[in-house]
Amino acid sequence: MSCNMEDLNWSDARNMLRKWRDENERKSDDVMQLWDNILSSKQSKLGNERHLVLEQVIIAALDCNRIETAEHCVSILSAEFPGSLRIQKYRSMLLEALERYDDALDELEQIIRKDETNAAPRKRKVAILKTQGRTAEAIKELCDYMKIFMSDQEGWHELCNLYLAEGEYAKAAFCMEELLLHNPHSHLIHQRLADIRYTMGGLDNIEMAKTHYCKAVKLNVNNLRALYGLFLCCGHISNSKAVVGKRKEAQKLAQWAMAQIQSRTHSASKDTKGAIKTGKGPAAACEDELQALEQAFGGLDVAKVTN
């Protein structure tokens, strides 16, 4: 924390916590410092913000492995709101921090039975199953969740990651396609879908990967990863048994992609070369990266295709 703790009074500490809540910043270490040194003995002065501060301290304490502080704050809130599902969620998080995963899952199941529309406990269940390495169960639970909350983009991202961890590339591609429906102008989603299709292999998947890499480059001309992927796809197609027209088109596109890569890496090296006087700096690193790229792709024949 940049400011001196001795210079702060309780209202300054309260305002700082309020600012971090509004800006959605965790700052767990700083929160715990303010709590230990100032606010823990001034709870009565917090007024209507007291419960919000206690919740903020619970999260910070769990982040910092301050289990006793988290237990103390949870017990205060539980005494004031004995039937609150929100407080029950904090109890499950506390059990999770203590690695009592089965008890935490039981708490979450109770919350879900009481409120089936509550998304947070369902997500916590997936997180616990993932922590325990029970990936198949986490996938099943997340699939059930996505049937109810189909517009949750974070859920589709996480489901894609779980499928990739299990090598289920076709299902991971489906998740990214669902994300494209929600956000069709994201170059990162197009790029990731292309990565998955390229990994799956086969001429049809390479063609689809090329299409999505092209879209990613169109949406963001500075996406070097998409340019690299586009060059690789075109190299495979130009050396495949595809019809001559497609091979010629791929050859031209590969040459264009390499020209774009070279122009961007060279311009980046020129921008930094003047500032580098000794040693191996970013300019030399860019040159080495380009040379490594050309060596890696040198085996791909993108020369003129003839009958």
* Helical H segments across 81-202, by residue range: 85-97, 101-114, 119-131, 135-148, 153-165, 169-182, 187-200
Residue spans per domain, the chain: 10-38+49-82, 175-265
User: What pLDDT was estimated at residue 40?
Assistant: 81
User: What pLDDT was estimated at residue 291?
Assistant: 59
Map residue 233 onto helix, strand or coil. Answer: helix
User: Which one-letter DSSP state was computed for residue 99?
Assistant: T
Class of domain 175-265: mainly alpha
User: What pLDDT was estimated at residue 9?
Assistant: 81
Map residue 168 onto helix, strand or coil. Answer: coil
Cα separation, 112 vs 135, in Å, equals 21
User: What pLDDT was estimated at residue 104?
Assistant: 92
What tens-digit pLDDT sequence spans the chain (307 residues)? 555 666 678 888 888 888 998 998 888 998 999 888 888 888 888 888 889 999 999 999 999 999 999 999 999 999 989 888 899 999 999 999 998 999 999 999 999 998 888 888 999 999 999 988 899 999 999 999 999 999 899 999 999 999 999 999 999 999 999 999 999 999 999 999 999 999 998 889 999 999 999 999 999 988 999 999 999 999 888 888 878 888 888 888 888 888 888 888 876 656 555 545 445 555 555 555 555 555 544 444 444 444 3
Query: Token pair of 144, please?
Result: 């059930």
CA 291 to chain centre: 31
User: What pLDDT was estimated at residue 307?
Assistant: 38
Cα separation, 9 vs 57, in Å, equals 18
Rounded to two decimals, the pTM is 0.77
- Selection from 97, 159, 70 nearest residue 122 by Cα: 159
